[in-house]
Amino acid sequence: MNLDVYVVTDRSLAAGRPLLWVVEESLAGGAGVIQLREKDISTREFVELALRLKEITSRYGARLIINDRVDVALAVGADGVHLGQEDMPLQTARKILGPVLIGVSVATVAEAAAAAAGGADYLGVSAVFSTPTKKVATTVGLEGLRAIRKAVNLPLVAIGGINRDNAAEVVRAGADGLAVVSAVMAAASPRLAVAELLEQVKTARAKRRGEG
Amino acid sequence: MNLDVYVVTDRSLAAGRPLLWVVEESLAGGAGVIQLREKDISTREFVELALRLKEITSRYGARLIINDRVDVALAVGADGVHLGQEDMPLQTARKILGPVLIGVSVATVAEAAAAAAGGADYLGVSAVFSTPTKKVATTVGLEGLRAIRKAVNLPLVAIGGINRDNAAEVVRAGADGLAVVSAVMAAASPRLAVAELLEQVKTARAKRRGEG
Q: Convert the pLDDT of each residue in A47-100 to its tens digit.
A: 999 999 999 999 999 999 999 999 999 999 999 999 999 999 999 999 999 999
What pLDDT does A131 receive?
A: 82
CB distance A74–B75 less than 8 Å? no
User: What is the residue range of A104's domain?
Assistant: 5-211
What pLDDT does A138 receive?
A: 86
The answer to whether B40 contacts chain A (CB < 8 Å) is no
Q: Does position B210 have pLDDT exceeding 90, yes or no?
A: no
* Residue from B26, B105, B126, B182 carrying the catalytic annotation: B105
**Could you give the CA distance from residue A76 to residue A118 in angstroms, rounded to a whole number?**
25
- CA A34, A38, A43: angle at the middle one, nearest 5? 115
Indicate whether this complex's ipTM tops 0.90.
yes
Concerning whether A37 is annotated as a catalytic residue, the answer is: yes
Question: Looking at the 3D structure of chain A, how many domains does it have?
Answer: 1
Which residues of A are less than 8 Å from B86 in CB distance?
A: 42-45
Q: Does position A133 have pLDDT exceeding 70, yes or no?
A: no
Taking a C-beta distance cutoff of 8 angstroms, is the pair B127, B134 a contact?
A: yes
| Percentage of chain A exceeding pLDDT 70 | 97
Average pLDDT, chain A: 96
Q: Which residue has the higher pLDDT, B125 or B132?
A: B125
- CA A204, A206, A208: angle at the middle one, nearest 5? 65
Tell me the mean pLDDT in the region A156-160. Answer: 97
The answer to whether A111 contacts chain B (CB < 8 Å) is no
- For residue B159, list its beta bridge partners: B126, B179
**What's the CATH number where A183 sits?**
3.20.20.70
Nearest CB to A86 within list B42, B88, B96: B42
Question: Cα–Cα distances in Å, from A180 out to A8, A10, A158, B29?
Answer: 6, 10, 9, 53
Concerning whether B150 is annotated as a catalytic residue, the answer is: no
Instruction: Give residue B131's pLDDT band: very low, low, confident or very high (50, 70, 90).
Output: confident
- Residue B143, phi-psi category: left (phi > 0), alpha (psi -120 to 50), beta (remainder): alpha
CB distance B71–A75 less than 8 Å? no
Tell me the mean pLDDT in the region A27-38. Answer: 98
Which residues of A are less than 8 Å from B85 in CB distance?
A: 44
What pLDDT does A209 receive?
A: 85
Instruction: Give residue A212's pLDDT band: very low, low, confident or very high (50, 70, 90).
Output: low
Check the CA dihedral A10-A14-A15-A19 and report its sign: negative
Question: Cα–Cα distances in Å, from A104 out to A1, A162, A184?
Answer: 16, 18, 22
Task: Give residue-wise pLDDT tens across range B73-118.
Answer: 999 999 999 999 999 999 999 999 999 999 999 999 999 999 999 9
Task: Give residue-wise pLDDT tens across range B132-181.
Answer: 666 667 899 999 999 999 999 999 999 999 999 999 999 999 999 999 99
Nearest CB to B96 within list A44, A74, A86: A74
What pLDDT does A171 receive?
A: 97
Q: Does position A143 have pLDDT exceeding 70, yes or no?
A: yes
The distance of Cα B90 from the centroid of its chain, to the nearest Å, equals 17
The answer to whether B87 contacts chain A (CB < 8 Å) is yes
**Could you give the CA distance from residue B195 to residue A17 in angstroms, rounded to a whole number?**
55
Helices (H), chain A: 19-29, 43-59, 70-76, 90-97, 109-117, 141-151, 167-172, 182-185, 190-211
What pLDDT does B14 receive?
A: 94
Instruction: Give residue A134's pLDDT band: very low, low, confident or very high (50, 70, 90).
Output: low
